[in-house]
């Protein structure tokens, strides 16, 4: 029993393939030009030979009519043979080549005549022209001129052209292949560098970027065409790696935050369960207290998971907005009632035109403002809550704002208030309550509506959030 190992053939390099294809294209181009040149030259020589044969036949006809002396026929080129004979009897009246066969009139055209084994030592190949001429003395005559194709220099040159082209073509093809190989290798050198750099990039070092020849490789230069195609490719991949790094970093932070958020309630539940095991059977007060804490922490965990699933569905476009047109004055009136039911002492003011309407998903927008209101209530516990709702139309956009009278955002927190589980300090304290997902949900909902959301500090010192949506 024999075992064989399959040998995988190594694929040819792109450099070699490009050089070979270029050489083949060049070879086809050279051959095509050579064929066209040969055909044109052959046609030119054929026309020249035909013209010479006709002119010589006409000279002979003129000489016969005028009874010209033999020296007057010296105008006929030495390499042209001729014969003058009677058409009916085929009696030769005059010729400079006794071996020239007598052929019929060609009716104004030149023709080729080939006879195998015509001579003892070979064939006869001629190009000839024959015309009829009437003579008072001899009757109907045929004047025939011919050109031996085996001895004519032009014909011999035409036969040698294919050999010349072949001998010149092979070194040209070889040189063109080497030149194309060098050019392709130098042109693809950046691709080789990018490939080597890409091999070193993994999820742990996404900060490594592909090399770019141009120093300024911003996205603006890509759009204005200041970079070549390879630089554009490298910059595009670099942008992809940057986005992937942000996603990986966000996912790592997300995993860490989820672990942190679930670790605390699980620890509390475990601690209360141990208390129940020790004293819960005999101490009813402890039993009720521990069960209440366990339920509270379980509800907190359920809220975290529910909110995370909600954000995921929004980001994956599984919740599509159902848009409708409605008046913002009615929308803010509903919010005012809900705020006063949640915080009876709260003061709510609304600044909006009665006829200002908006075309969007009313319920999604309602969820956004409920999350913002909940956040304001959470951080304004030390004094009576004051909220201001406002809306203003700007061209094709509508700007909606909510401002409270709380402590506002810290400067270092403004860029992160919409991040998941962010509570305004590194320790993620639970003193303010909630899981730090309300504003994240508000941002995801705003993006689903095709709008933008930003946080700011009002001049009065309170926290503000501004939404911008299409009309």
* Threshold 0.75, pTM exceeds: no
pLDDT, position 218:
52
Query: How many residues can be counted in the chain?
Result: 471
pLDDT in tens, 167-209: 877 888 888 888 888 888 888 888 888 888 888 877 777 777 7
Query: pLDDT of 364-377, one tens digit each?
Result: 899 899 889 888 88
Q: What burial letters (b/e) apply to 439-464, b meaning 16+ CB within 10 Å?
A: bbbbbbbbebbebebebebeeeebbb
Does pLDDT of 47 surpass 50? Answer: yes
The pLDDT of residue 230 is above 60: yes
State the DSSP string of 70-137: GGGGGGS-TTEEEEEEETTT--EEEES-TTPPP----TT--EEEEEEEEETTEEEEEEEEEEEEEETT
Tokens of 16: 């070699």
Q: Model confidence at 465, in pLDDT bands (50, 70, 90)?
A: very high
Out of 65-74, 84-93, 224-233, 378-387, which region has the weakest mean confidence (pLDDT)? Answer: 65-74
Bridge partners (DSSP) listed for residue 392: 399
Residues 378-437: pLDDT tens digits?
Answer: 887 767 889 999 999 988 899 999 999 888 888 888 888 888 777 665 443 444 455 567
Question: Are 405 and 386 in contact, with CB atoms under 8 Å apart?
Answer: yes
Could you read off the pLDDT of 134-170 as tens digits, one per residue?
A: 887 888 999 999 999 888 777 777 777 778 877 877 8
Distances (CA, A) of 121 to 81, 117, 118, 124, 340: 20, 7, 8, 10, 125
Q: pLDDT per residue over 438-463, tens digit each?
A: 788 888 889 888 999 999 998 878 89
How far apart are alpha carbons 389 and 398 in whole angstroms?
13
């Amino acid at each position: 029993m024999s075992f064989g190992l399959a040998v995988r053939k190594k694929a040819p390099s792109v450099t070699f393939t490009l050089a070979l294809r270029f050489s083949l294209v060049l070879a086809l181009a050279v051959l095509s030009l050579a064929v066209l040149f040969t055909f044109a030259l052959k046609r030119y020589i054929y026309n020249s030979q035909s013209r010479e044969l006709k002119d010589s036949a006409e000279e002979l006809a003129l000489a016969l009519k005028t009874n010209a002396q033999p020296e007057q026929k010296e105008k006929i080129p030495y390499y042209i043979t001729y014969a003058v004979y009677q058409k009916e009897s085929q009696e030769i009246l005059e010729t400079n080549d006794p071996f020239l066969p007598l052929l019929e009139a060609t009716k104004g055209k030149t023709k080729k005549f080939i006879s195998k084994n015509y001579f003892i030592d070979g064939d006869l190949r001629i190009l000839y022209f024959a015309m009829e001429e009437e003579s008072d003395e001899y009757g109907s005559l045929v004047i025939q001129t011919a050109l031996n194709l085996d001895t004519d220099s032009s014909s011999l040159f035409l036969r040698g052209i294919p050999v010349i082209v072949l001998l010149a073509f092979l070194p040209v093809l070889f040189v063109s292949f080497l030149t194309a190989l060098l050019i392709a290798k130098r042109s693809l050198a950046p691709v080789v560098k990018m490939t080597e750099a890409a091999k070193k990039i993994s999820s742990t070092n996404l900060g490594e970027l592909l090399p770019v020849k141009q120093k300024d490789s911003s996205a603006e230069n890509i759009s204005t065409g200041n970079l070549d195609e390879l630089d554009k490719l490298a910059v595009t991949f670099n942008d992809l790696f940057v986005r992937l790094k942000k996603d990986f970093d966000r996912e790592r932070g997300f995993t860490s935050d989820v672990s942190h958020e679930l670790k605390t309630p699980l620890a509390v539940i475990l601690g209360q369960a141990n208390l129940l095991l020790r004293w819960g059977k005999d101490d009813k007060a402890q039993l009720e207290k521990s069960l209440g804490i366990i339920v509270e922490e379980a509800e907190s965990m359920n809220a975290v998971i529910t909110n995370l699933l909600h954000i995921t569905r929004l980001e994956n476009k599984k919740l599509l907005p159902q848009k409708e047109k409605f008046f913002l004055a009615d929308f803010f009136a509903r919010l005012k009632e809900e705020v006063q039911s949640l915080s009876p002492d709260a003061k709510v003011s609304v600044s909006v035109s009665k006829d200002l309407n908006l075309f969007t998903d009313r319920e999604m927008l309602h969820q956004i403002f409920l999350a913002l209101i909940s956040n304001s209530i959470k951080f304004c516990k030390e004094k009576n809550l004051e909220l201001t709702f406002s809306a203003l139309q700007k061209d094709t956009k509508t700007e909606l704002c909510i401002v409270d009278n709380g402590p506002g955002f810290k400067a270092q927190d403004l860029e992160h208030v919409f991040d998941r589980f962010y509570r305004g300090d590194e320790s993620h304290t639970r003193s303010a309550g909630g899981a730090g997902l309300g504003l994240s949900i508000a941002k995801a909902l705003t993006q689903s509506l095709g709008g933008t959301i930003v946080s700011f500090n009002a001049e009065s010192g309170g926290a503000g959030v501004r939404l911008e949506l299409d009309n």
